[in-house]
Chain A
Amino acid sequence: MSDLLYSEEEEALRSAVRDLLGDHCDPAGVIARVESDAPHDTAAWKALAQNMGLAGLLVPEELGGQGATHREVAVVLEELGRFVAPVPYLSSAVVATEALLECGDAELLERLASGRAVGVLAVGLHRAPGTAFSVARLENGRLHGQLTGIADAGAADVLLVPAEDGGLYAVEAADAAIAPQSSLDLTRPLGTVTLDGAPGRRLGESAPAVHRALRSAAGLLASEQLGVADWALTETVRYLKDRTQFNRPVGGFQALKHRLAQVWLEVVNLRAAARSSADALSTGEDVEVAVAVAQAYASPAAVRIVEEALQLHGGIGMTWEHPVHLYLKRAKADSIAYGTAGAHRTALAALVDLQAP
Chain B
Amino acid sequence: MTDASELRRRTTELLAAHPPATTERLDFLRARFDAGLAWVHYPVGLGGLDAPRALQAVVDAELAAADAPDNDPRRNGIGLGMAAPTILKYGTPEQHSRFLRPLWTGEEVWCQLFSEPGAGSDLAALGTRAVREGDNWIVNGQKVWTSGAHNARWAILIARTDPDVPKHAGITYFLCDMTDPGVDVRPLRQITGEAEFNEVFLTDVRIPDAHRLGETGDGWRVAQTTLNNERVAIGGMRLPREGGMIGPVAKTWRERPELRTHELHQRLLKLWVESEVSRLTADRLRQQLSAGQPGPEGAGMKLAFARLNQEISGLEVELLGPEGLLYDDWTLRRPELVDFTGREAGYRYLRAKGNSIEGGTSEVLLNIVAERVLGLPAEPRTDKDVAWKDLAR
Q: Which residues of A contact B (CB under 8 A)?
A: 1-5, 237, 240-241, 248-249, 251-252, 254, 257-258, 260-262, 264-265, 268-273, 275-276, 293, 296-297, 345, 348-349, 352-357
Contact = CB atoms under 8 A, between A and B. Distances in A.
Given A241-B377, A268-B297, A276-B280, A258 B370 contact: yes
B374 A357 contact: no
B374 to A, nearest CB: 5
Contacts of A352: 250, 272
Contacts of B369: 261, 264-265
A269 B376 contact: no
A253 to B, nearest CB: 9
A18 to B, nearest CB: 21
A33 to B, nearest CB: 32
B273 interface: yes
Given A5-B287, A258-B370, A252 B363 contact: no
B375 A241 contact: yes
A75 to B, nearest CB: 15
Interface of B is mostly: helix
B376 A4 contact: no
A352 B297 CA distance: 30
B93 interface: no
Contact of B379 (A1, A254, A265): A254
B376 A257 contact: yes
Contacts of B386: none
Given A5-B284, A262-B366, A264-B369, A269 B374 contact: no
Contacts of A249: 377
A260 B284 CA distance: 21
Contacts of A353: 254
Contact of A258 (B269, B363, B373, B380): B363
Contacts of A296: 269-270, 273
A194 to B, nearest CB: 39
A2 B283 CA distance: 9
Contacts of A261: 303, 365-367, 369-370, 373-374
Contact of A297 (B273, B284, B363): B273
Contacts of B281: 268-269, 271-272
Contact of B284 (A4, A254, A258, A265): A4
Contacts, number: 123
Interface residues of B, number: 43
Contacts of A241: 375-377
A345 B283 contact: no
A11 to B, nearest CB: 13
B277 A272 contact: yes
Contact of A252 (B269, B287, B303, B379): B379
Contacts of B268: 354
Nearest to B281: A272
B300 interface: yes
B370 A345 contact: no
A252 B381 CA distance: 12
Contacts of B377: 241, 248-249, 251-252
B34 interface: no
A357 B265 contact: yes
B24 interface: no
9 contacts: A237-B375, A251-B370, A257-B374, A261-B370, A272-B284, A275-B280, A296-B273, A352-B272, A357-B261
B367 A254 contact: yes
B269 A357 contact: no
Given A257-B370, A264-B369, 18 more contacts: A5-B287, A254-B379, A257-B371, A257-B374, A257-B376, A258-B367, A264-B300, A269-B280, A272-B277, A272-B284, A275-B284, A293-B280, A345-B269, A345-B270, A356-B265, A357-B260, A357-B262, A357-B265
A251 to B, nearest CB: 4
A302 to B, nearest CB: 13
Contacts of A345: 266, 269-270, 273
A357 B269 CA distance: 13
